[in-house]
A and B are shown apart, each in its own frame.
Chain A
Amino acid sequence: MNGTSLFSSAFLVALFSSGVRQSVPLIYGSVGDTVGERAGVMGISLEGEMLFGAFFSYLFALRTGSLWTGVLMGALAGMLSSLIVAVWSVLFRQDQSIIGIMFNILAMGFTNFLNRVIFGTSNANISITTFQPIAIPRLSKIPFVGDIFFNQDILTYLAVVLAAVVFFVLRRTKLGLQLTAVGENPRAAQASGIQVYRFRILAYMFCGFAAGLAGASLTLGSVGTFTESISAGRGFICLAIVILSRWNPLVAVAASFGFGSIQALQIRLQVQGSALPYQVFVALPYLITVLVLALAGHNIRAPRELGVPFEKESR
């Protein structure tokens, strides 16, 4: 591999186009978590909800032959599973990090369990045809940019639309204001008549729904099958993206694209072969996540009551 091939335009277009695909689950996850965190609940459980979404979307897409049924069931699986986390942390007011971690163990165990029981021990699950790219008229003809951004599958476009809608709702609607109030000052919110518990549980459910879509985009958008622990830490990377993007869903799209491109570069360098061992590239996204947390997590304003359970009875 020489320098020219690495930076040729063909290589870069392919790289960033794949970067967009890699960023899709990260966009869904971080948009979901942004909503959750605005309401004061942490998405530690994102990783597990993604696994639920990934498994059930694959299962239903395979059994029904319909990718859309798969997407829907994956999102529902993410949402329903998030109810466990919601009930335990909002109603029972237990520590979100412990619940999140236990939920992730549960999700990993349960999806692996089902995978073994339903599909047997063979690693080679049946592959399904994933969503195909849709070229957007005109826009996809723009040199370079067209191929990178406007020739993607439907789940990619939906992810950006979702981010835009959430951005609008958070910034411009009463609902968004109420949600932010619940995360910033739940007592005052309650005093003004907002149902804090209901908001937080709904925020968890939205977060789970989005994480389910993230899982579905992994299996039905790029991989085409379910493998054990397919989410591979993406849920946690989303947490870093949310911090990096300062709880702004549109910035989160850009940040996800950054992480997605690193992932794409990693895969490409692995395939092409390089002087460095491939493990360096696999570790890269995680390493950058740590650095982002260290450097971007400094001196920022998180929702004030993030992670702090709310007790209705207290004044």
Chain B
Amino acid sequence: MSTLSGIGASFRDSVAHYRNASGLRKAAILLLSVVAAMLVGSLLILAVGADPLQAYYYMLVRPLTSITSIGEVAMYFTPLLLVGLGVSFTFHAKLSNLGGEGQMLFGALGMTLVGVPPVGNLLGVWSLPVGILLGILMGAFWAAAAGFFRVRFNASEIVVTLMLNYIAEQFISYVVFYPLRSGAEPQSAKIACALPKLWQGSRINCGVLIALALVAVYGVVIRRTRFGYHLRALGGSERAAEYSGVKRQRYYFLAMVISGAFCGLAGAVQISGNTMRLMEGVAGDFGFSGIVVAMLGSLNPVGVVIAALFMALLSAGSVTMQVKTGIPTSFTSVLEALIVLFILLGMAVSAAQSKRKKVSKA
């Protein structure tokens, strides 16, 4: 095997170990990681001269106090959940899809293409489902490019997906500067359709329901289908999987494409449920935050939902926090990264402990 593909072996071991750990132990690791990260975070907050309790109140509690702000949380929750589910597929096969951002951008482009006039007017109400479908396809297409390089050339999907993010960013920039530009600002026209709202006076919309329905789909596919079983076999032990007849390359490619489809959907929902037009940076940080969601949720369907909710609170709340306490929103990135680092630490410690137990038993 050539460049970089050896990566993931230990991760596989510790994840495999981690999965075998009891639910209680897992929950304890996750909770402790979050607490530890927040404690380190409070040092930063104190350094700025703000009050950590107040800051965390704005991040975690305040967003839930009104239906309007819950709607804002949903604006983050839906894409976080979709990207989190998407990258979970690849993590199962011990692939890393770090291209969520690029795939989201292509999904957003798909929605925009059929949403803006003239196509948008022509299709009427149909532009919404068609746009979502096209978004899914385009996200899958962009991920397929990365999958192709991985499978055909054995090029590291880590670097390729990251590079494809930069390329997608420039492509979308080109699209909103020239062909799809409408008006003085570099952005597309407003799309003609929108995801129906769930509540008056709040931006929460049907996108949340789509995402939650897909959680069930994800759970069933991973746990109850041959495909999911094979994916997990690949992630568990590549060679064993190959002996049992799993076509490794094909599964890598498929995992990548499905992952991209989820991210593409996230992009389409971002346009039709939030921004209503295509512009630069429409995918935000969701590509990377989605990875945090997958890790924090330990690839478990329910876990991913809880993780996405937590991360959505952080993201939505950080804006208020910045205004009220002067702590920059980039604080959330620090917190996110710390959480995952502490989870990894917890996994390592837990693995070492159980190994010691095994040794002492023997």
Contacts and interface: CB of A to CB of B under 8 A. Distances in A.
Interface string A287-299: 1011001110111
Interface in A89-144: 92-99, 101-103, 105-106, 108-110, 112-113, 116-117
A163 interface: no
Contacts of A308: 6-7, 9-10
B171 to A, nearest CB: 7
B160 A307 contact: no
Contact of B163 (A101, A103, A110, A236): A236
A306 B9 contact: no
Interface in A301-315: 301-302, 305-309
A300 B3 contact: yes
A94 to B, nearest CB: 4
Nearest to B345: A92
Nearest to B174: A279
A117 B164 contact: no
A106 B338 contact: yes
A287 B337 contact: no
B341 A295 contact: no
Contacts of B154: 297-298
A300 B2 contact: yes
Contact of A283 (B156, B170, B177): B170
B10 A297 contact: no
A117 B328 contact: yes
Interface residues of B, number: 55
Contacts of A233: 162-163, 166
Given A94-B347, A102-B341, A297-B154, A306 B295 contact: no
B330 A42 contact: no
B340 interface: yes
B334 A113 contact: yes
Interface in B5-24: 6-11, 14
Interface string A151-168: 000000000000000000
B317 to A, nearest CB: 15
Interface of A: 42, 44, 84, 88, 92-99, 101-103, 105-106, 108-110, 112-113, 116-117, 232-233, 236, 239-240, 243, 277, 279-280, 282-283, 286-287, 289-290, 293-295, 297-302, 305-309
Given A97-B11, A307-B6, 17 more contacts: A88-B345, A92-B345, A92-B349, A93-B10, A99-B341, A99-B344, A105-B336, A109-B333, A109-B336, A112-B330, A113-B328, A113-B334, A236-B159, A279-B177, A294-B155, A306-B4, A308-B6
